[in-house]
Amino acid sequence: MEVAPKPKDLKPTEQENPGTESQMQPRADHGEEHYKGLGRLKNKVAIVTGGDSGIGKAICIAYAREGADVVCCYLEEDKDAEDTKNWVEKAHQKCLLVRGDLSKESHCKEIIDKTIKKFGKIDILVNNAGFQRKAVDSIEKMDYDSILYTFKVNIISMFALVRYALPHLKEGGSIINCASIQAYHPTASILDYACTKGAIVTFTKGLAQELINKGIRVNCVAPGPVWTPLVQASFDKDKLSQFGSEVAMKRPAQPVELAGPFVFLASNEASYVNGEILGVTGGGLLA
């Protein structure tokens, strides 16, 4: 696997929200050509929000190669979502695409309803999708509606998805949320996004205490800088050219480098792991 380029080697392209994989320059690595599955999720059904690109796409590909059928949820990026579906099907697994806006409770219910209609069960719920608007230089430039939308997509949707999924999650089920190093080291220019990631950490720890009584584990992955469309849609070229230089490895991760931790937390290998925040940060400290 080729690691992500260091910032000095990047010649990034800015994008508008929500950002698409097909427009990324340079392109990201989701493990399309080299992730090897070991059957750790055989016969499982996994819901992955934000599965069209970035970390979510890498999760979908890895889960399929580990033997799971996948429900790939996405906002509007049809081309990217179809590409994810193609990679899942190349792994001889089924893929259901569900398009829509997670800020709407009705769509969260729709995801669960369509999954049960198609597959009859849910084993894994990955709350990965996130919204991050363009960085600004002052909190005064963060408008109310944008802040509210960020919270609806990034954390309130998790409450809705878990509530609707719970009747179908059985003992041995797994919920995995995606937070960020931003929960621990917030950047002022994306403060609303950082605050939602802090809320996700608390959500994970609290929910884990309740659901373990049902035999359902709840954990969280906290990535550091990762080369995704979300990033290219959030920062200007100057910032992008330095992206990842702040962590010990001096580079951003490729999305595929996040896939393994999500596989681990969903598998029986993590049967005694609950309520944990797994940092995948390139050496950036969570404390």
Q: How far apart (Å, rounded) are the C-alpha atoms in residues 128 and 220? A: 10
Q: Locate the DSSP E strands across 85-131.
A: 95-99, 122-127
| Torsion on CA atoms 242, 244, 247, 253, rounded to nearest 10 | -160
Cβ contacts of 185 within 8 Å, gap of 6 or more: 284
Please check whether residue 248 is in contact with residue 191, taking contact to mean a CB–CB distance below 8 angstroms. no
Number of H helices, E strands in the chain: 9, 7
Q: Is 193 marked active-site?
A: yes
Please check whether residue 15 is in contact with residue 53, taking contact to mean a CB–CB distance below 8 angstroms. no
Please check whether residue 62 is in contact with residue 262, taking contact to mean a CB–CB distance below 8 angstroms. yes
Q: Which of 197, 200, 204 is nearest to 218 (CA)?
A: 204
CA distance to 200, 248, 257, 266, per residue, from 282 (Å): 21, 6, 10, 22
Catalytic residue among 35, 144, 193, 272: 193
Q: Which of 73, 4, 66, 68 is nearest to 35 (CA)?
A: 66
Omega into 261 within 30° of 0, i.e. cis?
A: no
Q: Which residues are catalytic?
A: 193
